[in-house]
Amino acid sequence: MSASAPITTRIGRLVPRSPAGIVLTLLGIGVVLVALFPAWFTPYQPNGINARAILQPPSPANPFGTDELGSDVLARIIYGTRLEIAIAMGSVALAALFAVPAGLLAGYRGKTADWILTLIADSILSFPIVLFAVMVVASMGASVGTLIFVLGIVFIPRIFRLVRGQTQVLVEQGFVRGARAMGAGTFDILLRHILPNILGPVLVIVPQLMAVAILIEAGLSFIGLGVQPPQISWGSLLLVSKNYYVNAIWYPLAVGAVTTLASALLVFAGDLAANAINPDRRSG
């Protein structure tokens, strides 16, 4: 009666079966490889300076053209992927670290704990992101760490509300009432009955939040509150590229298109995962 069998089944359920799922999974693996080993994907250095090839339009050698220092734009986007993924995953993980236990507590215990935690979550939710970012940057300075912190805080209510709502539904379910009737403790019930059943919905919003993270990163870096230019992220590229939109429209366009495509694919992946993990559609 080890727990290994159902975990394998659970992961097995996430193996994509639809063509769209397979394509997205391969893309996802591709993006991770790009982030880990950018040099495999481009012959150029991200900070290579070439005075003779400044702001060149797209060509077979530079599919997205070159930037103001003559570097390959595609190479810079590729090298920016790592930070992008680090920010997206880091912020969601940070949010989940606080929001999942808080949501479980609020949904399971209810009453005062629920009231206080929901109040905190709603306060965060109603606070303007940019204002919050300005305040944090003002006190901590603009950096990747600050950005992850800001995004992490911003995502807490999103995950908290989901976990709380799912927990409230599950608490009323027969198997939770039954476990309590059998003498199972709170920790036992949360770990064995509630958490495994909310893991699906939580996993589904992770790619969606990562998409939001990429967009907010781009926005905050664009206004100078995020990743600072020597470091390469899609947002910091966007910030620099906007200066050249008159003469080199492909430059900001390429950066913007990659950012948009990445978030769109993440949202789409979330939808597919939602379908795959739905217990009503499971067999065996």
Partner 1 sequence: MNAPLLDVRDAEIVFTARRGGVTRHIQAVSGASISVARGQTVGLVGESGSGKSTLGAAAIGLQALDGGEVLFDGTPMPAEGSPAWRTLRRRVQVIFQDPFSALNPRQTIGQSLAEPLRLHSMGPRRSWPDRIAELLELVGLNPEMARQYPGTLSGGQRQRVCIARALAVEPDLIVCDEITSALDVSTQAQIVALIADIQKRMGVALLFISHDLGLVRAIADRTAVMYLGRIMEAGPAGEVFETPRHPYTRALLGAAPIPDPVLEARRERIPLRGEIPDPADPPSGCRFRTRCPHAREECAKRTPLPEPAGGAIVACHFWREITGTEDRS
Residue 76 as a binder of partner 1 (CB under 8 A): the answer is no
Site string for partner 1, 2-21 (x = CB under 8 A): ---xx---x-----------
As beta bridge partners, residue 142 has: none
Residue 141 as a binder of partner 1 (CB under 8 A): the answer is no
User: Which has the closest alpha carbon to 29: 274, 271, 267, 265?
Assistant: 265
Candidates 30, 141, 145, 178: give the one binding partner 1 (CB under 8 A): 178
Residue 197 as a binder of partner 1 (CB under 8 A): the answer is yes
SS3 130: helix
Residue 179 as a binder of partner 1 (CB under 8 A): the answer is yes
Candidates 27, 89, 184, 203: give the one binding partner 1 (CB under 8 A): 184
Candidates 1, 11, 131, 246: give the one binding partner 1 (CB under 8 A): 1
Residue 109 as a binder of partner 1 (CB under 8 A): the answer is no
SS3 39: helix
CB neighbours of residue 204 within 10 Å: 20
| H/E segment holding residue 17 | none
What's the min distance (Å) between Cβ of 192 and partner 1? 8
Task: Name residue 264's amino acid.
Answer: A
Torsions phi, psi for 172 (to 5 deg): -80, -10
Distances (CA, A) of 236 to 68, 93, 144, 219, 256: 14, 23, 11, 9, 11
**52, 70 Cβ separation under 8 angstroms:** yes
Stretch that binds partner 1, among 61-69, 168-176, 205-213, 261-269 (CB under 8 A): 168-176
Return d(Cα 12, Cα 109) in angstroms, integer. Answer: 33
**277, 266 Cβ separation under 8 angstroms:** no
Residue 182 as a binder of partner 1 (CB under 8 A): the answer is yes
Stretch that binds partner 1, among 31-39, 54-62, 98-106, 275-283 (CB under 8 A): 275-283
What's the min distance (Å) between Cβ of 277 and partner 1? 11
Residue 115 as a binder of partner 1 (CB under 8 A): the answer is no
Stretch that binds partner 1, among 216-224, 234-242, 253-261, 276-284 (CB under 8 A): 276-284
Return d(Cα 25, Cα 18) in angstroms, integer. Answer: 10
Q: Site residues (CB under 8 A) for partner 1?
A: 1, 5-6, 10, 173-175, 177-184, 188, 192-193, 196-197, 279-280, 282-284
